[in-house]
Amino acid sequence: MIVVIKAGASPQQAQEVIDKIVAMGYSVNVSQGAERLIIGVLGVRDNKDVLAAQLGGFAGVERVMPISKSYKLVSREGAPTDTIVRINDKVEIGAGLVHVIAGPCTVEGSEMLIETAHWVKRCGATLLRGGAYKPSTSPYSFQGMGKEGLEILAEARAQTGLPIVTEVLDPRDVPLVERFADILQIGARNMQNFNLLKELAKTRKPVMLKRGLSATIEEWLLAAEYLYAGGNHDVILCERGIRTFETATRNTLDLNAVPLVKSLTHLPIVVDPSHGTGKWDLVTPMARAGVAAGADAIMIEVHPRPSDALKDGFESLTFDNFATLMDQVRPIARAVGRPVASDATLVIEA
């Protein structure tokens, strides 16, 4: 159940409503919107009409909305406007512009990462991605550089000004990764790692939640609900492809999810065509499609020499291919009324 407090209501009036809800044995989740305070009432199963009538009688209440969805706080009914996630007062995801998050799958060294960071910024990326910790299907695959990788990411940010998106795998690593990252990513394999979700809900850094390998939309949004209910309202969803019977591509990039999620939740959504296809030559067309479908950002793997990459070289774009992607995405973004956030112009040196 959602209780919307009137615009202009006093803090005391809002507190009276909260006190009443708690006195009746329910939990509350308070979200301050641009104009109104939203109170989520958690744990309501019976007597919804009675509760709605009681709460609706308070002077500060504008309306009470029973919500049937299992994901109540992140549902479209849970907030009157779209959530805008602000990163370092520089980037706003969900504000109507298309952001581009780019960089290598894995931090492999300082020179490689910083070279890539400068290039993607020059092309128009507004955030830098790179894994310091990497989950691998095989225990013999490269697992990332850990803290050293985080320090390299921080140096790349210092040189370029690009905020950092990096993955955290273990609840015990959250404090360390939080020190360095601007957005903490939950990978597909950890979407339902509930202990990790609960730990990240305590942070005050934005969290990007990737869709699980075979997760339904409802399961994905319920994972987001863990973060939101735990106190972190800066949540970004990421569609990165799901596992189907198809073997021609690494995953099946579910672009249906973009407009569907937009209708179900107020959270912003990112499309990752690199993991979604697993084939570098499909990344650009699916990035174009993701922008056309309404994604708030696209996340692209870029490597100076994909054939030498320690992880996912087969889906990484070269510098020139990334420049081409940016050139092709820009007119589509403008055509759907959501321009690419950066106005950077690529100048290829002779």
pLDDT bucket at 348, cuts 50 / 70 / 90: very low
The confidence score (pLDDT) of residue 343 equals: 60
C-alpha span between 113 and 149 (Å, rounded): 10
Tell me the pLDDT tens digit for each residue of 23-68. Answer: 988 888 887 665 678 888 887 777 778 888 889 999 999 888 877 6
- Residue 347: the pLDDT is 38
Give 246-266 pLDDT, tens digit per residue. 999 999 999 999 999 999 999
Q: How far, CA to CA in Å, does 245 sit from each of 250, 281, 283?
A: 11, 21, 20
What pLDDT does 350 receive? 29
Over residues 231-245, the mean pLDDT reads 95
- Give the whole-number percent of the chain exceeding pLDDT 90: 71
In this prediction, residues 109-113 reach a mean pLDDT of 96
Strand ranges, E, within 172-276: 183-186, 207-210, 235-239, 269-271
pTM of the model: 0.86
Check if CATH label 3.40.50.10490 holds for domain 2-66: no
Tens digit of each residue's pLDDT (9 = 90 or more) over 316-342: 999 999 999 999 999 999 999 999 998
CATH superfamily of 85-335: Aldolase class I (3.20.20.70)
The confidence band for 345, taking pLDDT boundaries of 50, 70 and 90, is: very low
Q: Indicate where the chain has its CATH 3.20.20.70 domain(s).
A: 85-335
Between CA 164 and CA 116 the distance in angstroms is: 13
Q: Between the CA of residue 20 and those of 51, 90, 151, 167, 222, what are the distances in Å?
A: 10, 39, 48, 40, 27
Q: Are strands 85-87 and 207-210 parallel, antiparallel or unpaired?
A: unpaired
Query: Cα(302)–Cα(319) distance, rounded to whole angstroms?
Result: 7
Decide: 186 and 232 in contact? Cβ < 8 Å. Answer: no
Separation CA 6–CA 80 (nearest Å): 12
Read off the pLDDT of each residue in 167-189 and give the average, rounded to a whole number: 96
Q: Cα separation of 298 and 270, whole Å?
A: 5
> Mean pLDDT score of the chain, rounded to an integer?
91
- The pLDDT, as a whole number, for residue 46 is 73
Q: Specify the pLDDT at position 34.
A: 54
Which pLDDT does position 165 carry in this prediction? 98
Distance separating alpha carbons of residues 167 and 149, to the nearest angstrom = 11
